[in-house]
Structure 1
Amino acid sequence: MTGTGTLDQQQTGATAAPGAPAPVLTGERADLLEVLGKHRHFLRFTARDLTDEQAGQRSTVSELCIGGLIKHVTSVERAWANFVVEGTSAMPDFTAMTEADFAARTAEFAMQPGETLAGVLAAYDEVARRTDELVATLPDLDASHPLPKAPWFEADARWSARRTFLHIIAETAQHAGHADIVREALDGAKSMG
């Protein structure tokens, strides 16, 4: 479902000369990338100057830590980007998940032994690059797939690529806010203000 080249290249059939800058996106796709980039920045900003130990530290009554939140957002963004390309087959059937499956999903909210903040951020960057490429090059933002089975989704609902990218933005923004609270409780640092 992904195309090759930039959106402008797909629409005009033109290709940039080797080494020439890629055409600049405008309109809806540029807006999607700008908003997603802003919320990614705020999420990443909560991790500034932290040690690996601090990134894994809980600072509130919740189980959340900054490194775990970044891991979770990475996992969610990867899954939804795969959904845009592959459809429902890229997602689990949440109605059939076992306790072990849910335990594994819960574990992604924590820094595990041997994980580093640098590694978590590098994985997030890799996923972000792929998503950004999809936003820029996907032939049709209206292309849709049925949602996976889950108690929180309406039966027989479909999401377009556009709706899925909006969901990624919402998830990123929500968890950037969580990370901001965790960071402020950790050492008083704030993302804004």
Structure 2
Amino acid sequence: MPFVITVLVILVILVALALWGVGMYNNLVTLRNRVKNGWAQIDVQLKQRADLIPNLVETVKGYAGHESTVLTQVTQARAGVVAAAANGDVAQRMTAENALSRALVNLQATAEAYPQLQANQNFMDLQAQLKALESKIAYARQFYNDIVLKYNTATETVPTNIVAGLFNFEQAQYFQVDETSRQVPQVRF
């Protein structure tokens, strides 16, 4: 009889450990899927911004056509974003999006030098749309980075890191602003 009790206790412990492991695995899967969802939300906003940029560039071009360097920079940065999006590499996409953000700041700074452009209703509408999109992108990036923090913490802390290691859960990348994006743009006329 003591042997049967010992076997039952061992079985109960093994079942409890298995359920605990399944729970940790399911939590990691949930967090990984939330990271993917967070990136998908950013992707939607970034796509909308990329679609808005040609209209903005054309409007500015009508008033500040001789600012071809800035306009070319924005156009090339947008092309880089489209190429990175097609590639599917998240790190490359983040770099391209940061370059586009810098180019847009330069474009907006250039546009400020043209009062007649500032008075153009089409330009003002595009600026308002871009500002709203930038706010949404900032929120989506914050949400994404928050969920990446939770996911990465789960993959690094004991005992979840054991399950993460067994099933090859890898760290997710934060959406970070590169150092050049932190600098104030230089606009010269």
TM-score by length of 1: 0.38
Q: TM-score, normalised by structure 2?
A: 0.39
